[in-house]
Amino acid sequence: MNSRARDKVIGRRALARVLQREQRRGRRVVFTSGCFDLLHIGHVRSFESAARHGDVLVVGINRDRRVRELKGPSRPITPERQRAEVVAALGVVDYVTLFSENDASAAIRALRPDVVCKGGEYRGEQIPEESAVLEIGGEFVSLRQTPGVRTTSILKRARH
């Protein structure tokens, strides 16, 4: 795909139509989600790992309000539209969509990906989106984390 990054950032309804066409062509859709504030090597490796589970990689990004709720009042560092465009600029990412709900369940139900990948921080825990993945008949994959690489720890190091 040779489009501009911001053209790959698509609203949920329009993206659902695009993904239905992709699936009718026999392509497997993979979905992953997160804040992706201050993109780092751990994020890139997660995207690359997720992409290996299908043909089309969709990344859901938490809106700013939700990032503040999750990470605190000083976050996000980068506004949602900029975070979305930066993620979309990565060659491994096919589409990006923003979501404001507490978790990505509504996005999963609307987009109906074949595979949902979550970061390794959920290992051994029930993922919030598990019921949505089961509902749509999708497959869940837990991705490995890159040890020692977290946005919070990068910010702590930068402050010292």
Strands (DSSP E) contained in the chain are: 29-34, 56-62, 95-99, 115-118, 139-142
In tens digits, the chain (160 residues) has pLDDT values of 446 999 999 999 999 999 999 999 999 999 999 999 888 888 899 999 999 999 999 999 999 999 999 888 988 999 999 999 999 999 999 999 999 999 999 999 999 999 999 876 655 567 889 999 999 999 999 887 765 655 555 455 556 6
The CATH number of 5-159, from 3.30.413.10, 3.40.30.10, 3.90.1170.50, 3.40.50.620, is 3.40.50.620
64: Cα separation from own chain's centroid: 14
Q: Is the pTM of this model over 0.85?
A: yes
What kind and span of H or E run contains 134? helix 130-135
C-alpha neighbours within 13 Å on the C-beta side of residue 57: 24
Domain residue spans of the chain: 5-159
Burial of 55 (0-12, 13-18, 19+ CB in 10 A): middle
